[in-house]
Structure 1
Amino acid sequence: MNLLLIDLSNIPCWLIPLLVGLICAILGYLLGRLAGKGDDTSDDLDLWKRKNASLKADLDACRSQLKTASAAPVAASSSASMSSSFAAETVVTPEPTITMIPFDAAAAKAAFGKKINEDDLTVVEGIGPKIRELFHNFDIKTWASLGDTTVEKCQEVLNSGGKRFEIHRPKTWPMQAKLAAQGKWEELKKWQDEHDYGKE
């Protein structure tokens, strides 16, 4: 029994150096991993710095394009000269390109058999009072401005009114508006008589 007590009393003597060695090994391993990660972190940091610089350069380029687009006078710019996609989305009401003559109410009345008000969009076959209001909401209030409007833009105006305007086909509306703006009343009336309410 004494022998067993002596052996147990000696165990802590050899256990302490073993534990200290194990702890040193674990700490050495962890410190080695942390030191190795420091190099990877600096590479990642450089990568993120390069990406950040690239994004800043893109942002500066966009800002300069925006300044250039907004600094150009609205009157001097036309939809044909706008080359960038951002400038094409800018809302600009172009000057009419139609050669207009002064409105002749008597000639319009002679052709249509009723009084015609100047720049009344309902003269265009297919446009009624509700659709006229939709065009007015888009700042298209004259025959000349409707004549310069694309069919796609006319469709966009109709779409803004909801489903009840989907049956209308604005394919001929700019052409009819041009005839009205140019005072070609007989030609406009003849065309409307020969076609299906401006829907063809």
Structure 2
Amino acid sequence: MNWCILIPLLVGAICAILGYLLGKLLGGGNDNDCEDRIAKLQADLEACRKSRVSLESDLKTTQASLASSLTAASTGTLVAFDAAAAKAVFGKKIKENDLTVVEGIGPKIQELFHNHDVKTWKALSECTVDKCQSVLNSGGERYKIHKPGTWPKQAKMAYEGKWEALLKWQDELDGGK
């Protein structure tokens, strides 16, 4: 027998045995392991789906609660206009949401604010001074000279029905400045 042929056959057999053993050791895989992993992944997927449904339900509940809270808050802070109290303080009839009650705002400036969807004392009280100035600037050169620094605060006082405090403050102001 020729030893030259026997050595490669022996080396090949040893490599095959070692390859098989390493595959079993490192791969560790048989069909049962794959089926177990698939079953675990499917269970995890189902748990995620249930969690998503639960979270969506919680989100809808929270949104509904928030919407009702906002509605309650917006209607709860509404201050009723008392024309008699305003007339008693100012000595003349005051219309609700008449922006000319604010010192420094006349009919033309009121019209500018109405054109910019600022039609109530509350809306004016929520404006920034910069927003008021941009409304004035939109009217042209003759409106740019006005100083709206106190207008939002005056409008808030009118909105809240603080007529005496408003009149006292306006007596101290010079054309709304």
Q: TM-score of the superposition, structure 2-length normalised?
A: 0.57
Query: Counterparts of 1:96 and 1:122 in 2: how far apart (Å)?
Result: 25
Query: Counterparts of 2:176 and 2:112 in 1: how far apart (Å)?
Result: 18
Q: Percent identity?
A: 70
- Which residue number in structure 1 is paired with residue 115 of structure 2? 137
CA pair 97-135 structure 1, distance change in 2 beyond 3 A: farther
Paired residues, number: 107
Query: Counterparts of 1:96 and 1:129 in 2: how far apart (Å)?
Result: 29
1:127 matched to 2:105? The reply is: yes
| SS of structure 2 residue aligned to 1:170 | coil
RMSD: 2.3
- Which residue number in structure 1 is paired with residue 92 of structure 2? 114
Give structure 1 stretches of 5+ with no counterpart. Answer: 1-75, 77-94
1:181 matched to 2:159? The reply is: yes
CA pair 162-195 structure 1, distance change in 2 beyond 3 A: same
Query: Counterparts of 1:187 and 1:97 in 2: how far apart (Å)?
Result: 24
State the shift of 1:186 in Å.
Answer: 0.3
> 8 Å contact 1:98–1:147 — kept in the other structure?
no
Whichever residue aligns with residue 152 of structure 2, its letter is P
- Which residue number in structure 2 is paired with residue 103 of structure 1? 81
Give structure 2 stretches of 5+ with no counterpart. Answer: 1-66, 68-72
Could you say which structure has the higher helix fraction? Answer: 2
Q: TM-score of the superposition, structure 1-length normalised?
A: 0.50
Q: Which runs of 4+ in 1 moved over 2 A?
A: 95-100
